[in-house]
Structure 1
Amino acid sequence: MTVEVAGPAALTAPTLAHLRSLGARATESSVTPTGPARFTAAGNGPGEVTAHAAWADVLPEADGADEATVQAASGMMHVHGRRDGGPRGLAVDYAATCASVLTVQGLLAALLSQARGGSGATEITTGADRAALLTLSQYLAAANAPEAEAVPSAPGGPPFTAACGTRFELEALEPAPWARFWRALDAPEEAIRSGWPTFQFRYATACAPIPQALHRTANEAAWPRIREAAAASGAEVCALRALAERTAEAIPDAPWTLTPYPGKTGPPSTARPLPADALPLSSLTVLEAGRRIQAPLAAHLFGLLGADVVRIEPPGGDPLRGMPPCTSGVSARWLALNRGKRAVEIDIKSPAGQAELRELAADADVFLHNWAPGKAEQWGLGADRLASVNPRLVYAYTSGWAGRLPDAPMGTDFMVQARTGAGEAARPADEPPAPSLMTLVDVLGGLVGAEAVLAGLLLRERTGRGVAVESSLLGAAETLTAPALRRAAEGQDPRRPAGFRRPLPTADGWVAPADHSARPAGAEAARLRDMTTDEAIAALRAQGRPVTAVTTDLATLPEDPRLHGAFTRDAHGSLVVPSPWRFA
């Protein structure tokens, strides 16, 4: 594949890195600090495919001029800032990074369609604003549901700080290890009981108002004692790593691996050509056995691309279907990731259930899961076993650590942020390092996983052989922190400067200037406090400064004139964000 690239580095650099990792010969025709990006790819199919990536595709250009303004208008600053009690910008280019991965997906999907005999889309458009809304889809769906959250939203959350000053993340997936850990440190019982619900729901609410008594308990304990308590209780702790520490560790070029099954190259697909108006994955079947966010989101994207997605659920169905808040009796958050999928209930822990899943895999194109390490092999559902029943299967494992870090803790979002330095990269230099309680790497991990599967499907069409694919939360974190790690490796400060992407208060809200726009300070910032948001925007734009209002209530976003008509509702009445791509 050859690719010609033009546009701003923030939108092109991650895309270029991933395309080159796939073997593409990519050349940059021009690099611009602002504006849209353009990628023209030519494979061994009948023609070229062009992808356009812009900062704003559903937002007006004036309100989506760069990373900062997209974060502000989409509600990302609001969600990330919930634990702090006010909007905060992510110091990493999260919307641009997600848009870059979605751009690669769009290119691969269009080339796959050509390889399958389709004559459909040759123009793909995505935007950082579309990517931002996709990453926020669960929060948006919950905020626009008719029910309230199960726990109140209020400032607060991990990390905790030990007596020596070590800042650390704690993970416990069940209440028993949580309680045992805190009891080992002599925490008050009432604080242990009241702290669990908010800690448990922090993945959903992006905040965790944990009782101060627990923070004091941690602060009075030595780090060795905290580690001993975790080891004895079944909970896990991870000290926050600095980005400078990460530069000493080996980081591969690609966030995933693609391993074709051994044996001779087979014939290309003999499936009948796709209709001209078919989506790229039409007539393909994806089996998904996922939990939480990473694998379900990847499978959701395949559904948007036309695949028939069959979700494997335990007997009785996925318990998260009832997670509040609900719309028409179904969890709004669950619908954001799983609407449109067919469900099949299978007890994968039983021999009969394992045999049933192998039968389904024999006729599938993709099998996708994010089970704990070793579980697939234990159940006879590993890549080798399923390849024996379907040599053309793309077997996809979206893991936590990809087996690369021997000392790695539990492979969950906030632990990965802590271990990889993402918690430091996400905040500017005047804020203490802390993993964002917005699920950054779970969501990006789902996007990276979908990208890898699409690459595997394209490779299968070209070689006739199935492919084993592994992606990870670790790989997603490395994609996100790559610019900061480069700065650290070059001896520069890996963190963004004090006040970076910090919104400015007005008399009735907040505004966020673009990154390249001089940040108002002193008397000028004080004058903005006395203006309404509309007045502040008009004043700054009159000076040639790109700026937009910061969304601070996700429930108002569907009626926001900046996004008028962008949202729809599904059959349950739950909010649906726009597709991350437009095909033409």
Structure 2
Amino acid sequence: MAAGLLRASGVGVAEGEVLEVGGELACRVSWAGPSALPVGSEREVQAACGVAHVHGRRYGGPTVLGVDFASVAAGVLGATGALAALRARRLGAAYREVGVSVVQGALLGLSQYLAAATAPEQGWAEPTGTGGPPFGSADGVWFELEALEADGWLRFWSELGVPRRVVGRAWPPFQSRYGTAACPLPPELFAAARAVGYARLVRVAAECGVELTAVAERPAVLGGMPWRLRAGATAAVGGGGGSGFARGPLDGVTVVEITRRVQGPLAGRVLALLGAAVVRVEPPGGDPLRGVPPLAEVGGAAVSARFAALNRGKGVLEADLRSAEGRSSVRELIGGADVLLHSLAPAKVAGLGLDAEAVAALRPGLVYAQASGGGPGLSTDYPVQAHSGLAALLAPAGGPPRPTLLTVCDVLGGLVCAAGTVAGLEARERTGRAQRVESSLLSAARLLCGVGGDAGTGAGGGVVDAEVCTDLAVLARDPRLAAVLEFGADGCAFVRAPWEFG
């Protein structure tokens, strides 16, 4: 994985037990890395590190994912670290090797779940229970439903005849499923969907402002490069050089991040872990997700543990992008940056003055990184799993296509966005030209679909004859993970930077 991504980024690679990158850097991807877990396969990593536990919440017990999620994450992280080290070498750093492990890839992918599991009790409990979408129509079409607002959710199910009290009871687990990997829904919802043909369901969804995505029976497109890198028309100017690289190979790089949910924030978190100074643009009063329980103490303030796992270590600029004053403050910030990372909808970017052409005039040579869903109706994880065919690969043997409630596309989407951004920074140093990076949840899903490996298919959801994590809070206290985890003042667990540079 790492070798292919590096080659596609224009870097020469000689393969062996250790990758030789660009003739000047060694890159090693191991199973356990600095941890002391006795693992030697994808299935063992998934079992020991909690991936099978989180994925299995919808099934009632640990269940191995049918794709090599942890290994792919480690491969992307390996390429990211190598590209960052190569760029730093061009600027005078003495890096000679970079190492990352599959265990660290798995844990970084579970970072928000680990933080939530180890946050102090706040009088709030995650929903429990098995099951969840997709839904089936009367004519046999399996589909995912996405509703980002309670009003659309209520209107859709009310149109199908579901009692209001049932719809209301179903909203909290549905809304929180991205953070909990659990979505126990009342059977009345599934029965109502099965009574209606898919064409009518689509019409009702459009009228109610929710989105339906048909679940593909198999992946239509496999693999491919998960980001597109294009040289800009302007030459690079100033900044980004770093001095001593004390924080990491991206020390001296300034990133302006305008993102939400998981994909974009995780990309920014990876860049910060590599040493970049990341400034996050949030609306006045802060991102609403800061207050989602459970809460943890970060910097002397109470903040959502899940939010902290994705955004800890970033600076914040509060600005209303709808106002001229807010847009002006963001443009001023971009004028001194090296990277603009955003997940804004394409239809909104130009109106905010943040399209690539406008930004190039503000900061010639900027690396412009855009993270998207991948197409109309594909703005979130589970519809992307359904559309891409990934859900079909993850389904238990003999069952219908079924996405995992572990947000694999959000996680890998964030990792490939960060990798593409670092590739853009390396290319800028190599060519002296601005770079534009485009990545998506869909490209991440296709990358995962295109990789076989030893995790196997769905094959009844069994796990290996090895130790199996069934409690993330217990896992976080395992002394064998002391080198890869760190803890906040109140005991909330966070994942350390997954690279070892030497």
- Listed one character per residue, the Cα deviations across residues 211-263 of structure 1 (whole Å, up to 9, x for unaligned) are 1111111111111121111111110111110225x14xxx7832111122115
In structure 2, how many angstroms separate the alpha carbons of the residues matched to 1:383 and 1:28?
Answer: 36
Residues 362 and 270 from structure 1, CA distance in 2 versus in 1: closer, same or farther, beyond 3 angstroms?
A: closer
In structure 2, how many angstroms separate the alpha carbons of the residues matched to 1:368 and 1:52?
Answer: 28
Q: Secondary structure at the match of 2:165?
A: helix
Number of the residue aligned with 1:320: 289
Number of the residue aligned with 1:481: 449
Residues 278 and 181 from structure 1, CA distance in 2 versus in 1: closer, same or farther, beyond 3 angstroms?
A: closer
Q: Does the 8 Å contact 1:156/1:208 carry over to 2?
A: yes
TM-score relative to the length of structure 2: 0.94
Number of the residue aligned with 2:259: 290
In structure 1, how many angstroms separate the alpha carbons of the residues matched to 2:448 and 2:176?
Answer: 24
- Listed one character per residue, the Cα deviations across residues 363-390 of structure 1 (whole Å, up to 9, x for unaligned) are 0011111112221111111111010011
Q: Does the 8 Å contact 2:279/2:314 carry over to 1?
A: yes
In structure 2, how many angstroms separate the alpha carbons of the residues matched to 1:415 and 1:183?
Answer: 22
Matches within 5 A, 1:104-503: 104-119=79-94, 121-147=95-121, 149=124, 151-243=126-218, 246-247=220-221, 253-263=224-234, 265=235, 274-275=243-244, 277=246, 279-328=248-297, 329-401=302-374, 403=375, 408-483=376-451, 496=457, 498-499=459-460, 502-503=462-463
Residues 279 and 180 from structure 1, CA distance in 2 versus in 1: closer, same or farther, beyond 3 angstroms?
A: same
In structure 2, how many angstroms separate the alpha carbons of the residues matched to 1:234 and 1:271?
Answer: 43
Q: Secondary structure at the match of 2:73?
A: helix
In structure 1, how many angstroms separate the alpha carbons of the residues matched to 2:49 and 2:425?
Answer: 32
Are 2:20 and 1:60 equivalent residues in the alignment? no
In structure 2, how many angstroms separate the alpha carbons of the residues matched to 1:426 and 1:270?
Answer: 45
TM-score relative to the length of structure 1: 0.81
Following superposition, the deviation at residue 138 of structure 1 comes to 0.5
**Which stretch shows the higher mean deviation, 217-226 or 51-60?**
51-60
Number of the residue aligned with 2:19: 39
In structure 2, how many angstroms separate the alpha carbons of the residues matched to 1:122 and 1:315?
Answer: 44
Are 2:496 and 1:578 equivalent residues in the alignment? yes
Q: Does the 8 Å contact 1:260/1:468 carry over to 2?
A: yes
Q: Secondary structure at the match of 1:286?
A: strand
Q: Does the 8 Å contact 1:169/1:238 carry over to 2?
A: yes
Question: Which fold has the larger relative contact order, with Cα–Cα distance below 8 Å and residues 6 or more apart in sequence?
Answer: 2
Residues 277 and 289 from structure 1, CA distance in 2 versus in 1: closer, same or farther, beyond 3 angstroms?
A: closer
Residues 73 and 497 from structure 1, CA distance in 2 versus in 1: closer, same or farther, beyond 3 angstroms?
A: closer
Q: Secondary structure at the match of 2:233?
A: coil
Q: How many residues align?
A: 496
* Aligned-partner residue type, residue 582 of structure 1: E
Following superposition, the deviation at residue 410 of structure 1 comes to 3.4
Q: Secondary structure at the match of 1:475?
A: helix
In the TM superposition, structure 1's runs of 4+ consecutive aligned residues that sit over 4 Å from their partners are 148-151, 269-273
Q: Secondary structure at the match of 2:278?
A: strand
- Listed one character per residue, the Cα deviations across residues 155-185 of structure 1 (whole Å, up to 9, x for unaligned) are 1211111112211100000001111111111
**Which stretch shows the higher mean deviation, 560-569 or 130-139?**
560-569
In structure 1, how many angstroms separate the alpha carbons of the residues matched to 2:472 and 2:456?
Answer: 29
- Listed one character per residue, the Cα deviations across residues 387-422 of structure 1 (whole Å, up to 9, x for unaligned) are 001112111111110x5xxxx423210000000011
In structure 2, how many angstroms separate the alpha carbons of the residues matched to 1:583 and 1:441?
Answer: 27
**Which stretch shows the higher mean deviation, 146-155 or 326-335?**
146-155
Q: Does the 8 Å contact 1:255/1:479 carry over to 2?
A: yes
Identity value in percent: 44
Q: Which stretches in structure 2 are left out of the alignment for 5+ residues?
A: none
